[in-house]
Structure 1
């Protein structure tokens, strides 16, 4: 960029930052520890000039913007640290679908496709009895709240506001049918009611709801949810890793596409496959 053009851009961005921050020339000169005339020279339209590195840094610090933005090296006014914080955040994770943060993310994704790899069976399709069995181990008093939240999510899905795709490891369905691994100790009637409910919902809401089953021996995924084009969340147990940087969201969307391509049971066949496990 030509020096004069950069100086002109610096002046315009300096004025914009001062306006947003509500800072006068006098206040800026005082907080940046320079003469008022120096700030005046930077803001002159007919004689714009670039400051030295020290003054640029001091002015950026006072106004809460990055030096790169003032100098036209980026279109993001936030500091690099703030950009990273906005692109990747940590949020506490509740154990149940009653998690307020999770509900907010679903609402934020209204109108967009939600793509989900759950940690166990998908919360949005869990029965009250299955939730009760899970809640017995940790917070039984959360059951009514968790069940209401699940019903709200199911109604949200039924309304057609967003399409919902779920990629589920085959062994999760098989373990629920057999009462092994995570589902060891769950009564057979609870497990079969749960599987029938998932199969019925897949039948009734297809293609708005699509469940794909993949073989974890061939492909793997951590629990992850992609909320439209602007947010992707990885569940790590006690917290969520939330990504808002567009390239990271695209990468996790591509990861989900890979799971779907590698699925051994397609969404059209998922209900019949689930029912066949109970017959066997």
Structure 2
């Protein structure tokens, strides 16, 4: 069961106090070690405020005191900083019946902007019937796909979350027309899926922003940039996980080029989908 914000704040305070006590530092020294002043540290430790730090501060606390962000936020009982063991690049194989690490990566990037180019439709915007239909084209088990969809949608509904999604506009046109991989999907389900996307991009805006670019003019492989934490490129049943800051920044610049070349901007996405529904029924 997900923690409420107050519970998360209480756990964070207890664990921050624990780090302070075992560090052997006074409060001024501890504050300096995590890059804040004494006043900011006092606020973080105040039982009246129950204030969570900014993502950058949370990351500095984890790095300075060799603990995981998940442990600080009460998402894990394992305090060890696993990221220290990460290489510059890793291959993550998705074996049959195994969960992927997407949910973990989203939690690690809490408070950072996530940039996402899906391999087909955005996971968090898909209805169950389309996930069922799409399973013939994916090697990831269906129950895991549904779990990831629900998990990502829950993440998108968090106030502090921020996600930008870039998608070729032709992908939505093909869905509306029922051609390509969608030719066997009933028209009623295609319409239901488009209406679902239209509703969610409207409801989740502006924290969730959908950009549509012309796939004939610019190309992108499927990828997700999880803030400055990591980037992931999707290759069939494998994820190429990139942990080097320099390469993460390069992929971020690539994503920004997609945004600059967008033919449909986030505030126009719902209207674009409505036009497809009107044209193709």
Q: TM-score, normalised by structure 1?
A: 0.65
- SS of 1:220's partner is coil
Q: Which residue of 1 aligns with 2:87?
A: 86
Tell me the CA shift for residue 123 of structure 1: 1.0
Distance 1:176 1:230, change over 3 A: same
- SS of 1:264's partner is strand
Structure 1: distance between partners of 2:85 and 2:215? 32
The answer on whether the counterparts of 2:126 and 2:193 sit within 8 Å (CA) in structure 1 is: yes
Structure 1: distance between partners of 2:260 and 2:188? 33
Tell me the CA shift for residue 152 of structure 1: 2.3
Q: Which residue of 1 aligns with 2:155?
A: 156
Q: Give per-residue Cα distances to partners, 1:183-205, cap 9 Å, x unaligned.
A: 12111111111111111111111
Q: Which residue of 2 aligns with 1:70?
A: none
Distance 1:137 1:119, change over 3 A: closer
Q: Which residue of 2 aligns with 1:260?
A: 259
The answer on whether the counterparts of 1:115 and 1:165 sit within 8 Å (CA) in structure 2 is: yes
Q: Give per-residue Cα distances to partners, 1:120-160, cap 9 Å, x unaligned.
A: 001111101111111256679x4444323312221121012
The answer on whether the counterparts of 2:123 and 2:152 sit within 8 Å (CA) in structure 1 is: no
Structure 1: distance between partners of 2:113 and 2:99? 20
Q: Which residue of 2 aligns with 1:116?
A: 116
Distance 1:195 1:164, change over 3 A: same
Q: Which residue of 1 aligns with 2:192?
A: 193
- SS of 1:260's partner is helix
Structure 1: distance between partners of 2:190 and 2:96? 20
The answer on whether the counterparts of 2:113 and 2:161 sit within 8 Å (CA) in structure 1 is: yes
Unaligned segments of structure 1, at least 5 residues = 1-82
Structure 2: distance between partners of 1:116 and 1:233? 9
Tell me the CA shift for residue 211 of structure 1: 0.3
Q: How many residues align?
A: 196
What does 1:13-162 align with in structure 2 at a 5 Å threshold?
A: 86-93=87-94, 99-135=99-135, 142-162=141-161
The answer on whether the counterparts of 2:211 and 2:266 sit within 8 Å (CA) in structure 1 is: yes
The answer on whether the counterparts of 2:139 and 2:237 sit within 8 Å (CA) in structure 1 is: no
Unaligned segments of structure 2, at least 5 residues = 1-83
Q: From the CA coordinates, give the structure whose radius of gyration is larger.
A: 1
Distance 1:170 1:107, change over 3 A: same
Structure 1: distance between partners of 2:95 and 2:164? 22
Distance 1:264 1:94, change over 3 A: farther
Tell me the CA shift for residue 99 of structure 1: 4.0
- Off by >2 Å, runs of 4+ in structure 1: 93-96, 135-140, 142-149
- SS of 1:242's partner is strand
Distance 1:161 1:93, change over 3 A: farther
RMSD: 2.4
Structure 2: distance between partners of 1:113 and 1:145? 24
Pairing 1:183–2:182 present: yes
Q: TM-score, normalised by structure 2?
A: 0.65
